[in-house]
Amino acid sequence: MKLTRIAISVLAVALVASTVRPAYAEDAAALYKSKCQMCHGADGKGDTPAGKKMGVKDFHSPEAAKMSDEDLFKITKNGKDKMPAYDKKLTDDQIKELVKYIHTLK
Contacts of residue 72, defined as CB under 8 A and 6 or more positions apart, other chains included, come to 99, 102
Number of CB atoms found within 10 A of residue 1's CB = 5
Q: Domain ranges in the chain? A: 22-104
Element (H, E) at 85: none
% of the chain beyond a pLDDT of 70: 75
Number of CB atoms found within 10 A of residue 38's CB = 13
22-104 to CATH, choices 1.10.760.10, 1.20.1730.10, 2.40.30.10, 1.10.287.10: 1.10.760.10
d(CA 26, CA 60): 21
d(CA 3, CA 9): 10
Mapped onto helix, strand or coil, the DSSP state of residue 97 is helix
Model-wide pTM > 0.95: no
Task: Report pLDDT for 20.
Answer: 45
Q: What is the pLDDT of residues 77-99, one digit of tens each?
A: 999 999 999 999 999 999 999 99
Q: What mean pLDDT comes out for the span 36-61?
A: 94
